[in-house]
Amino acid sequence: MRKEKFVSVIIAAAGKGKRMNSHINKQYLNIGEKPVLAHTIEVFNKCSFIDEIIVVTHPDEVAYCKEKVINFFGLEKVTKVVAGGKERQESIFNGLKAVYQKCDIVVIHDGARPFVREEYILKSIDEAIKHKAVGVGVPVKDTIKVVDEEKNIKNTLNRNVLWAIQTPQTFDYQLLLRAHKKAIEDGYLGTDDTVLVERLGEKVRMLMSSYDNIKITTPEDLYIGEAILRNRK
């Protein structure tokens, strides 16, 4: 069923990662012997049901990304490296405009999330063909508190209905494009792509992912990433 659809992947790698406290973009820091971004793209590059990969990176890093990651590691499914915008949402929209004109399904994934498993990519594509919008995530482990501006607890949320959203997030291409255009029209800025589709009144399916599908955000995450990499080897 998947083979009947043209599947494009947009890798979001335009963020500077201020919480990393590094002069190097977090996507280009090494885990093991490869940059985080190379690990990430490789998973999709090896997946036979992916037809093309668009990498969206910082405007100042387009040439570096092509030379040091795409070409150096032979990631041949990457068809374009495009410049991102000031916000993630703008970067994804730039990616949506760059995909192949006959794209059916589009997969959005964080460049700093290198431990995604192929099985979740394939499940997401299958579910998106059926339901048009799919997210992956995991139930939260911690108790979640709502805190006011004075740092006082206002409310304790029901942990049983709370999930931490991850990527990949997978969509019918035309649906996600419409959701982005609507957000631009309304001046709305979301934190991920599923919320843009939710604003249209569309349902988004949630799939169980894994807790090791972490996003490299802080220096501590690099140590955790090294441990995950060793464990998988």
* Residue-range definition of the domain harbouring residue 99: 2-232
pLDDT per residue as tens, the chain (233 positions): 456 899 999 999 997 756 555 566 889 999 999 999 999 999 999 999 999 999 999 999 999 999 999 999 999 999 999 999 999 999 999 999 999 999 999 999 999 999 999 999 999 999 999 999 999 999 999 999 999 999 999 999 999 999 999 999 999 999 999 999 999 999 999 999 999 999 999 999 999 999 999 999 999 999 999 999 999 87
Contact 137, 117 (CB under 8 A): no
* Per-residue model confidence (pLDDT) at position 233: 78
* Per-residue model confidence (pLDDT) at position 158: 95
**Omega of the bond prior to 35 within 30 degrees of 0, cis?**
no
Phi and psi angles of residue 201, each rounded to the nearest 5 degrees, phi first:
85, 10
* Per-residue model confidence (pLDDT) at position 2: 55
Of the candidates 174, 220, 183, the residue with the CA atom closest to the CA atom of residue 87: 183
**CA torsion 185→187→190→194, rounded to 10°?**
-20
Provide the domain count of the chain: 1
CATH of the domain at 142: 3.90.550.10
